[in-house]
């Protein structure tokens, strides 16, 4: 009988793990690729974690009479940390309502008290969790799981008494919850890393194909264009009627624009093996701002800077300046009625050089932000999207990261992070 009992405990515990593994598998296998809207993803994630909670509470690990162990804390903590405020409230309400259906007893009061003391703390750390790196995310999730179980153990002791018989299973529950939280958080973070790597590989493959096509066609297209431009200049006689002069000038301007597009193509086609050197990012940004000041004069745009000294990184200064000019031009052009562009550069505590370019322009939707840097995607009527794509490629080649924050009608903020060198 004892052997059967142990096997039953193991079976119930494995069932608890299954209830938590299935939402992770479904979400990352089917939802991530097919559902692009962030809000819809959160709703689906909340439903999946809610099903996990119901499963854990319906089929607990039973140790004996009135002695149960279920790991609902893990779906609650992970659902709140990865989903945010709304999923956290919904999952907590689900726990209370489902526990209420079992009857109002000491266990129900314990559940309500634990959530009252735990949920505000989990929600408080959710924002930090969302902006933390992988290792810190794991630590936050494990710490919150430990806190939830410790609160539960404390209230159980207060309500039932601090005896060995009453606290043995809660202590086992705490150990299991912390261990399983650690394992599942690592699993989720690893899946997210793999997904991000796959997206970057797909993007790199697109850039490689464009680069190969560029190297074949760009020069062949440029040669007849140069000849055409030369003949147009020869035809531009001072005695020509003004209308014909206007037509010739329009043709020359369009040829120059086409040449700029070809230059962008060639920038994509070049291998990103430029000679890197130790450069002061702050100095390069100031140069870029000085260069682009003339572009702001007839647009009623003011550029304000806050640049620290000694912002050293490894990069190619010409390529870096090219990427920053592209982003700054987009910021200026996003403000048809004028405004201010803020440019800052500072070292962060986690050994990064942080560059921000913030405007007061028209802003972007989440869908538009997700497509930034994609081939041929531009928000400008006459744009090709190649300039922004080149900027993304250059920054990535210097091991940099780009984050974009934007709100429609308010403005856009580009955050660029480069590894700092001493």
- CA dist 29 and 195 (Å) reads 10
Torsion, Cα of 23, 28, 34, 36 (10° steps) = 100
pLDDT at 241: 83
CB 369 within 8 A of CB 381: no
Range with the poorest average pLDDT among 13-27, 233-247, 368-382: 368-382
pLDDT at 378: 58
Domain 277-419 has CATH 3.40.50.360: no
pLDDT category at 4 given cuts 50, 70, 90 is very low
Question: What are the phi and psi torsion angles at 358 (to 5°)?
Answer: -120, 130
Residues 6+ positions from 24 with CB-CB distance below 8 Å:
184, 187, 188, 191
- Sort residue 274 into left (φ over 0), alpha (ψ -120 to 50) or beta: beta
Percentage of the chain lying above the pLDDT 70 cut: 87
Q: Which long-range contacts (CB under 8 A, 24 or more apart) does 150-154 make?
A: 150/174, 151/114, 151/117, 151/118, 152/73, 152/110, 152/114
Q: Look at the block and give the residue holding tokens 């250059």.
A: 394
pLDDT category at 266 given cuts 50, 70, 90 is low
- Which residue, among 385, 387, 378, 323, has the nearest Cα to 355 in the 3D structure? 323
- Which residue, among 388, 415, 399, has the nearest Cα to 268 in the 3D structure? 388
How far are the Cα atoms of 153, 154, 155, 166 from residue 161, in angstroms, in the given order? Answer: 11, 10, 9, 7
- CA dist 261 and 176 (Å) reads 59
Q: Concatenated DSSP letters for 154-192?
A: HHHHHHH-S-HHHHHHHHHHHHHHHHHHHHHHHHHHHHH
pLDDT at 183: 94
Mean pLDDT of 267-273: 55
pLDDT at 359: 92
- Sort residue 37 into left (φ over 0), alpha (ψ -120 to 50) or beta: beta
Q: Is 359 helix (H, G, I), strand (E, B) or coil?
A: coil
pLDDT at 130: 86
Write out the two tokens for 395.
């920054």
How far are the Cα atoms of 234, 247, 294, 322 from residue 254, in angstroms, in the given order? Answer: 17, 11, 22, 22
pLDDT at 247: 83
pLDDT at 144: 96
List the beta strands (DSSP E) in 5-59.
none
Domain 2-198 has CATH 1.10.1760: yes
In this predicted model, what pLDDT tens digit does every residue of 183-218 receive, in sequence order?
A: 999 999 999 888 887 877 777 676 667 666 666 677
pLDDT at 94: 95
pLDDT above 80: residue 133: yes
In this predicted model, what pLDDT tens digit does every residue of 322-333 receive, in sequence order?
A: 889 889 988 998
In this predicted model, what pLDDT tens digit does every residue of 283-302 receive, in sequence order?
A: 899 988 888 887 887 788 89
pLDDT category at 219 given cuts 50, 70, 90 is low
Question: What are the phi and psi torsion angles at 61 (to 5°)?
Answer: -80, 115
Listed in sequence order, the DSSP H helices in 337-418 are 366-371, 386-397
312-315 vs 339-347, strand pairing mode: unpaired
pLDDT at 3: 41
Mean pLDDT value across the chain:
84
Mean pLDDT of 110-132: 92
pLDDT at 2: 41
pLDDT at 85: 92
Domain residue spans of the chain? 2-198, 202-269, 277-419
Write out the two tokens for 113.
């008290």
pLDDT above 50: residue 1: no
In this predicted model, what pLDDT tens digit does every residue of 159-179 receive, in sequence order?
A: 888 887 778 878 888 999 999
């Amino acid at each position: 009988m004892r052997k059967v009992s142990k096997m039953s405990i193991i079976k119930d515990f494995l069932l608890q793990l299954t209830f938590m593994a299935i939402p992770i598998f479904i979400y990352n296998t089917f939802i991530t690729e097919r559902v692009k809207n962030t809000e819809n993803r959160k709703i689906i994630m909340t439903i999946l974690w809610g099903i996990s909670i119901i499963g854990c509470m319906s089929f607990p690990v039973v140790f004996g009479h009135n002695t149960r162990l279920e790991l609902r804390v893990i779906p609650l903590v992970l659902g709140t940390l990865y989903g945010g405020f709304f999923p956290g409230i919904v999952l907590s309400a689900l726990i209370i309502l489902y526990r209420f259906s079992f009857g109002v007893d000491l266990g129900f009061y314990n559940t309500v008290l634990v959530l009252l003391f735990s949920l505000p703390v989990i929600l408080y750390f959710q924002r930090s969790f969302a902006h933390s790196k992988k290792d810190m995310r794991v630590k936050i999730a494990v710490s919150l799981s430990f806190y939830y179980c410790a609160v539960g153990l404390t209230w159980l002791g207060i309500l039932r008494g601090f005896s060995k018989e009453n606290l043995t299973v809660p202590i086992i529950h705490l150990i299991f919850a912390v261990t399983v939280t650690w394992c599942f958080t690592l699993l989720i973070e690893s899946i997210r890393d793999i997904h991000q790597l796959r997206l970057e590989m797909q993007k790199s493959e697109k850039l490689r194909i464009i680069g190969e096509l560029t190297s074949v066609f760009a020069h062949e297209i440029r040669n007849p264009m140069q000849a055409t431009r030369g003949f147009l200049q020869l035809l531009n006689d001072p005695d020509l009627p003004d209308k014909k002069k206007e037509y010739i000038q329009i043709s020359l301007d369009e040829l120059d624009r086409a040449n700029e597009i070809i230059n962008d193509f060639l920038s994509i086609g070049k291998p990103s093996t430029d000679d890197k050197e130790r450069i002061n990012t702050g100095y390069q940004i100031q140069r870029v701002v000085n260069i682009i000041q003339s572009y702001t004069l007839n647009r009623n745009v003011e550029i304000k800077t806050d640049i620290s000294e000694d912002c050293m990184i490894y990069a190619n200064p010409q390529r870096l300046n090219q990427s920053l000019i592209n982003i700054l031009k987009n910021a200026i052009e996003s403000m048809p009625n004028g405004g201010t562009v803020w440019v800052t550069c500072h070292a962060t505590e986690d050994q990064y050089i942080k560059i921000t370019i913030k405007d007061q322009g028209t802003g972007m939707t989440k869908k538009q932000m997700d497509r930034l840097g994609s081939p041929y995607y531009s928000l400008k009527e006459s744009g090709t999207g190649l300039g922004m794509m080149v900027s993304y490629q250059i920054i990535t080649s210097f091991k940099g990261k780009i984050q974009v924050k934007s709100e429609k009608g308010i403005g856009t903020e580009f955050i660029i992070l480069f590894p700092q060198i001493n």
